[in-house]
Amino acid sequence: MPQKTPLYDLHLDNGGRMVEFAGWLMPVQFKGIIEEHNAVRENAGIFDIGHMGQIEVFDKDALQRLVTNDISLLAEWMGQYSFICNEDGTVLDDLIIYRLPDRFLVISNAVNAQNVFEKIKNADPNAAILYETRTAIALQGPLTLERFQKFVKADLKKLKHRQIIPVKINGSFDAVASRSGYSGEDGIELFFDKKAAADLWRQLLLESFEPCGLGSRDTLRIEAALPLYGHEIDAKTTPIDAGFDRFVRFEKGDFSGKEALLEQKKMGASKKLVGFELSGRAVPRQGYDIYSDGKKIGYVTSGTFSPTLKRSIGMGYLFAGTDETAGSPKVAIRDNYFDISFVKLPFYRRPKI
């Protein structure tokens, strides 16, 4: 049986179209993917992210030996992006790790939450996964801070990227709030008691936050070139393949996958993550092949019609040694070949204010 977040019934009442995702029944859309996407780029939207794993870890040294980034560089009340790798260097999951005064809060993908938790629990028997008691909502978009400020006393504008703070929402219940997200926009992610979820969601709707589903979460993250487990990263891909070397801190000491990753760093990656645009409106999708002059040079990991750029975009891997400036690259979509041009990632970067 798929699991339900505490907002499940409310999503049904609000016209959410529910689909099964990573063992959870989640809304893929409410009004429509493009409308929700645009609401986040232009105003503000809310996402139910109660399916994501929240894992509490207490043993700092144990966690340090599991993840690729260096948590000793992490100040209290700050978060960092990291990988947790298998011994062969492939990605078990990508994580956000927050440092709280007495523990770490590790946020993992829903699909990997149990595997990540088991690996952590083996190293820190006190670690706990919080699905029974906690949930999360992401508020994303340029008007997020302005619209959410009235709920909390702390000055949200002063929060740094990936800073997390304890807040009392409406003076009534405790949460931790971080300035973070997965849309390429400014935003806040709230981690809090499940029992408060439905009330808070309703109040956010009253403040004109657009309810958004997994569909727009995907189109937003593709435009921002944020990787998704099962697409750009998976158990066949290392952080080096994906070009995320900066989140792998070899100098920090031993960690899971270090030897394999060091070896790969010396030998070079087997593939390279790239972004491309299509000449037509057809949509490149995961698993489609990329060709140049009749030869297969790579494959697509994610693609969509970009609501912001109004053209089709994709990410994918090119095999090592491919010269992407040579030949005329194409992506095969059904029986047709569409011209593509490689572009610098991300496709979309939010305007600086």
Partner 1 sequence: MKPQDLKFTKEHEWISRDGTVGISDHAQHELGDVVFVELPKVGVEKAQGSELGVLESVKSVSSVYSPVSGSVAKINDKLVQTPELVNKDPYGEGWIAQLKISDMQQLAALMTYDQYQAFVGK
**Binding residues vs partner 1 (CB under 8 A):** 28-29, 32-34, 215, 218-219, 280-283, 285, 304-305, 307, 312, 334
Give the DSSP letter of residue 294.
T
Q: Which is nearer to partner 1, 166 or 280 (CB)?
A: 280
Q: Which is nearer to partner 1, 112 or 219 (CB)?
A: 219
Q: How far apart are CB 277 and partner 1 at their closest, in Å?
A: 14
Q: How far apart are CB 261 and partner 1 at their closest, in Å?
A: 34
Q: How far apart are CB 280 and partner 1 at their closest, in Å?
A: 8
> Residue 347: helix, strand or coil by DSSP?
coil
Q: Which is nearer to partner 1, 144 or 304 (CB)?
A: 304
Buried b (16+ CB within 10 A) or exposed e, 51-88: bbbbbbbebeebbbebbbbbbeebeebbbbbbbbbeee
Dihedral sign, Cα of residue 158, residue 163, residue 168, residue 170 = positive
Q: How far apart are CB 43 and partner 1 at their closest, in Å?
A: 18
Q: How far apart are CB 241 and partner 1 at their closest, in Å?
A: 27
* Pairing of β 187-193 and β 134-140: antiparallel
Q: Which is nearer to partner 1, 83 or 288 (CB)?
A: 288
Q: Which is nearer to partner 1, 136 or 283 (CB)?
A: 283
Query: Where are the extended beta strands (E) located within the chain?
Result: 3-4, 17-21, 24-29, 45-48, 53-57, 78-85, 91-99, 104-108, 128-129, 134-140, 164-169, 173-178, 187-193, 210-212, 271-278, 289-292, 295-306, 311-319, 329-333, 336-343
